[in-house]
């Protein structure tokens, strides 16, 4: 599993950096992305799903951070 921390980035860079990491990975591999804030919470999973990737799970923490795990599509 790969990990990426975009918690210091703002949209749209949260998605851009996530997409760049996924581009380096093979189909079927899993990426865990840590983010901070409401905007990536609303948009990151939706944008990745629109790109055809599978959202495995997403969790939110009290400190406004979240973690999303995504499986890269073929």
Active site residue 11: yes
- Active-site choice (2, 5, 7, 11): 11
Q: Do residues 40 and 53 lie in contact, with contact meaning Cβ atoms separated by under 8 Å?
A: no
**Integer Cα distance of 8 and 69 in angstroms:** 18
Assigned token pair, 27? 């189909």
Catalytic residue set: 11
């Amino acid at each position: 599993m790969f990990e990426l921390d975009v918690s210091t980035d703002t949209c749209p860079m949260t998605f851009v950096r996530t997409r760049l990491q996924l581009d380096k990975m093979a189909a079927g591999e899993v990426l865990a992305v840590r983010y901070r804030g409401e905007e990536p919470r609303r948009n990151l999973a939706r944008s990745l799903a629109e790109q055809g990737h599978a959202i495995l799970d997403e969790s939110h923490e009290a400190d406004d951070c979240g973690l999303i795990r995504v499986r890269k599509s073929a």
